C-alpha cells in the first residue's frame, strides 16, 4: 500500500480534504488490492479551484516568459531525480511494467523541458499595412484559466503534455486526473509545489468525474478545456462547451492500421508491430489495432510474429522482465473477451492467446493473434484497448489504403516498406493526423500530436501545442502623420 490516504485536492497552494471527507480507493490492477485512498471531490471543490486559478491568473499572466520557464526547468529536473519513485507509483496504480513506467517518466519530463524552452518563443507578428499611417500588430496572450482532464493509460505524460504548455503560455490550470490513476498526477502537482510555483497557478481535484466535469464545463471562468480520452466523452464535452463557447483541445480514440507491404523489412515490421500493439497491454490511443499484410508474405510474417508473441512474459509490472501487464479493470477485460469471442465465432483463426491469464488476481489477458479476420467482426470497427492483433491479408496497394481509411477514427497510421515512392504516396493518401513510416513511436515533445475526423481536434507538443493556449490579439494603431 502506497499510503493510507493520499493528498488529492490541491487548491490555491494548499492540500485540503472534501467538505464531506469522502474518499475512494485506488486499486492495483495487477493484484486487485487497494493501494491508497484519495479524496472524492465534487463540483463544489472544482468551483473553488477555478476561482483560485482565476485569481492567480491576474499575476501569473504578467510573469515574463523566462520567469515562467524557470519553474518548468526546476520541475523537469526534480521529476528526473525522482524517476524511480514516480515509476513505482505509476506501475502500482496503472499496471504497466516498470520498464515502461520509467520510459513514461522520461517522456513526461521531456514536455517540461520542451515547453520551458518554448515559453521564450511565443512570437507575435507585425503586418505591413496598406495605409502609411497605420501600424498593424498581432500580440499573443494567454487564453485564461485552463481545465485539463487526463486519462488513466499514461497518467504522468498526459499531465505534463497539457500542464507544461498551459503554464508556459501564462495560463493557470485546474486539473482533473482519471479516477483510476490519480496518484501520478498528485505527485506531479507536489513537484510543482516544491519548486515554488505560485499559489493558485496549478490546482488539482480528484473524485466524481460527472460533477467535477460539469462544473468545469459550465463555469464561464474556464476558457479552454484540454481532454484526452474516449471519442464518446469528447463529443459530450463538445456539446457542453457550447453554452460558454469554450476553446477545446481533444485527443480522442484511435483505430490505427499498420500496413506491411511486400517489400518491407519483415523482421523490423514484426518487432515494431509487437512494440506498438503490446506496449501497455495494448491500452494506447495510437497502438496498432489492425495489421494489413501483403498476401505474398503473410504466412512468414505470421510465423515470426507468433513465435515472438508466445515468448512474451505476462505478469505483475513490478516483477523484473514483465512485458505484458494487466488491463486497467474488469470492464476493460470484458470488452476484450467480447471482441475476441465475436471474431472467433465469425471465423477468425486464433493463432495464440485468446484467454485470460490467472495471475496474482488482476485483470490479465494473454497476448493474442487473430488471422483470417473479416470486416464483419467488431474488432475491425471498434477501438481495441487490449493485447489483441487482428491480421488481414491484402494484394492491392490502393485497396489496402481504402481499407485502412475505412473508419471514423483518424489518429495514427503506420506503414512498412523499403520503397520511398510507395512510402510517400501511401502517406499522402492515409486519412490520419499522424503517420509513421517504418516507425511506430512518433510521439515526441517537439512534434505536433493529434488526430483528424473523430479522433479529435488541436495539437499537443511542438510550437503548435503552445498555440493552443494562446489568443491572438490584433492591434491596429493609427498615427497622426
- Does the structure show a pLDDT above 70 at 429? yes
- Give CA angle at 18 (155, 184), nearest 5°: 15
Are 467 and 143 within 8 A, CB to CB? no
Residue 251 among the catalytic residues? yes
Domain 256-437 annotated CATH 3.10.129.10? no
Question: pLDDT, tens digit, for every residue of 193-219?
Answer: 999 999 999 999 999 999 999 999 999
Closest of 320, 321, 356 to residue 338, by C-alpha: 356
Using a 10 angstrom Cβ sphere, with 0-12 exposed, 13-18 middle and 19 or more buried, the burial of residue 128 is exposed
CA dihedral 214, 224, 445, 419 (to 10 degrees): 90
- Give CA angle at 24 (19, 26), nearest 5°: 145
pLDDT at 292: 99
pLDDT at 20: 78
CA distances from 80 to 166, 182, 195, 273 (A): 21, 19, 14, 29
Query: Active site residue: 251, 262, 403, 460, which one?
Result: 251
Contacts by 460-465, CB closer than 8 A, 24 or more apart: 460/161, 460/162, 460/165, 460/226, 460/249, 460/251, 461/111, 461/114, 461/161, 463/118, 463/121, 465/115, 465/118, 465/161, 465/165
Question: pLDDT, tens digit, for every residue of 41-55?
Answer: 999 999 999 999 999
The owner of cell 493509460 is 153
As a whole number of angstroms, the distance between CA 292 and CA 324 comes to 23
Are 93 and 155 within 8 A, CB to CB? yes
As a whole number of angstroms, the distance between CA 256 and CA 242 comes to 30
9-252+453-475 and 256-437 share one fold: no
pLDDT band at 5 (very low <50, low <70, confident <90, very high): low
Question: pLDDT, tens digit, for every residue of 232-287?
Answer: 999 999 999 999 999 999 999 999 999 999 999 999 999 999 999 999 999 999 99
DSSP 194-221: HTTPPTTSEEEE-B-HHHHHHHHHH-TT
As a whole number of angstroms, the distance between CA 36 and CA 48 comes to 25
As a whole number of angstroms, the distance between CA 77 and CA 367 comes to 36
Residue 287 among the catalytic residues? no
pLDDT at 117: 98
Are 284 and 255 within 8 A, CB to CB? no
Question: pLDDT, tens digit, for every residue of 185-197?
Answer: 999 999 999 999 9
Query: Active site residue: 51, 285, 454, 460, which one?
Result: 285
pLDDT at 3: 56
Domain ranges for the chain? 9-252+453-475, 256-437
Are 448 and 464 within 8 A, CB to CB? yes
List the grid coordinates of 286.
495510437
As a whole number of angstroms, the distance between CA 455 and CA 477 comes to 41
- Does the structure show a pLDDT above 70 at 79? yes
List the grid coordinates of 260.
506491411
Domain 9-252+453-475 annotated CATH 3.20.20.70? no
- pTM, two decimals, is 0.96
Amino acid at each position: 500500500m502506497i499510503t493510507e490516504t493520499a493528498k488529492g485536492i490541491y487548491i490555491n497552494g494548499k492540500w485540503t480534504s472534501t467538505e464531506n471527507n469522502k474518499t475512494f480507493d485506488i486499486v492495483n490492477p495487477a493484484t486487485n488490492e487497494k493501494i491508497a485512498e484519495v479524496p472524492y471531490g465534487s463540483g463544489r471543490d472544482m468551483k473553488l479551484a477555478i476561482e483560485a486559478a482565476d485569481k492567480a491568473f491576474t499575476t501569473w499572466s504578467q510573469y515574463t516568459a523566462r520567469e515562467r520557464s524557470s519553474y518548468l526547468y526546476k520541475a523537469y529536473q526534480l521529476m528526473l531525480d525522482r524517476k524511480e519513485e514516480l515509476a513505482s507509483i505509476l506501475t502500482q496504480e496503472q499496471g504497466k511494467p516498470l520498464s515502461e513506467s520509467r520510459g513514461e517518466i522520461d517522456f513526461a519530463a521531456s514536455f517540461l523541458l520542451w515547453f520551458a524552452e518554448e515559453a521564450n518563443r511565443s512570437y507575435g507578428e507585425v503586418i505591413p499595412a496598406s495605409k502609411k499611417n497605420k501600424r498593424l500588430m498581432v500580440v499573443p496572450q494567454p487564453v485564461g484559466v485552463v481545465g485539463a482532464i487526463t486519462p488513466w493509460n499514461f497518467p504522468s505524460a498526459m499531465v505534463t503534455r497539457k500542464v507544461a504548455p498551459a503554464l508556459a503560455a501564462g495560463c493557470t490550470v485546474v486539473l482533473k486526473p482519471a479516477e483510476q490513476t490519480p496518484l501520478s498526477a498528485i505527485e506531479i502537482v507536489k513537484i510543482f509545489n516544491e519548486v515554488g510555483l505560485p499559489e493558485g497557478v496549478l490546482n488539482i481535484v480528484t473524485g466524481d468525474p460527472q460533477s467535477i466535469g460539469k462544473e468545469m464545463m459550465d463555469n464561464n471562468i474556464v476558457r479552454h478545456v484540454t481532454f484526452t480520452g474516449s471519442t464518446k466523452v469528447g463529443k459530450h464535452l463538445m456539446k457542453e462547451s457550447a453554452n460558454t463557447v469554450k476553446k477545446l483541445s481533444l485527443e480522442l480514440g484511435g483505430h490505427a492500421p499498420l500496413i506491411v507491404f511486400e517489400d518491407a523489412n519483415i523482421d523490423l515490421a514484426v518487432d515494431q508491430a509487437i512494440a506498438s500493439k503490446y506496449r501497455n497491454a495494448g491500452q494506447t490511443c495510437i497502438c496498432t489495432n489492425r495489421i494489413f499484410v501483403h498476401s505474398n508474405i503473410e504466412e512468414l510474417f505470421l510465423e515470426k510474429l507468433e513465435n515472438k508473441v508466445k515468448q512474451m512474459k505476462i505478469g505483475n509490472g513490478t516483477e523484473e522482465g514483465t512485458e505484458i501487464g494487466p488491463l486497467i479493470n474488469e470492464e476493460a477485460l470484458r470488452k476484450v473477451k467480447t471482441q475476441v469471442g465475436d471474431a472467433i465465432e465469425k471465423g477468425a483463426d486464433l493463432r495464440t492467446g485468446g484467454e485470460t491469464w490467472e495471475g496474482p488476481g488482476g485483470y490479465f489477458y494473454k497476448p493474442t493473434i487473430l488471422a483470417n479476420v473479416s470486416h464483419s467482426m467488431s474488432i475491425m470497427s471498434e477501438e481495441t484497448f487490449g493485447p489483441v492483433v487482428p491480421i488481414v491479408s491484402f494484394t492491392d496497394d490502393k485497396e489496402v489504403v481504402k481499407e485502412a481509411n475505412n473508419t471514423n477514427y483518424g489518429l495514427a497510421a503506420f506503414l512498412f516498406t523499403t520503397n520511398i515512392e510507395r512510402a510517400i504516396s501511401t502517406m499522402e493518401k492515409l486519412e490520419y493526423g499522424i503517420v509513421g513510416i517504418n516507425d511506430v513511436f512518433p510521439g515526441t515533445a517537439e512534434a505536433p500530436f493529434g488526430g483528424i475526423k473523430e479522433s479529435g481536434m488541436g495539437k499537443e507538443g511542438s510550437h503548435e501545442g503552445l498555440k493552443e493556449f494562446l489568443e491572438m490579439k490584433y492591434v491596429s494603431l493609427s498615427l497622426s502623420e
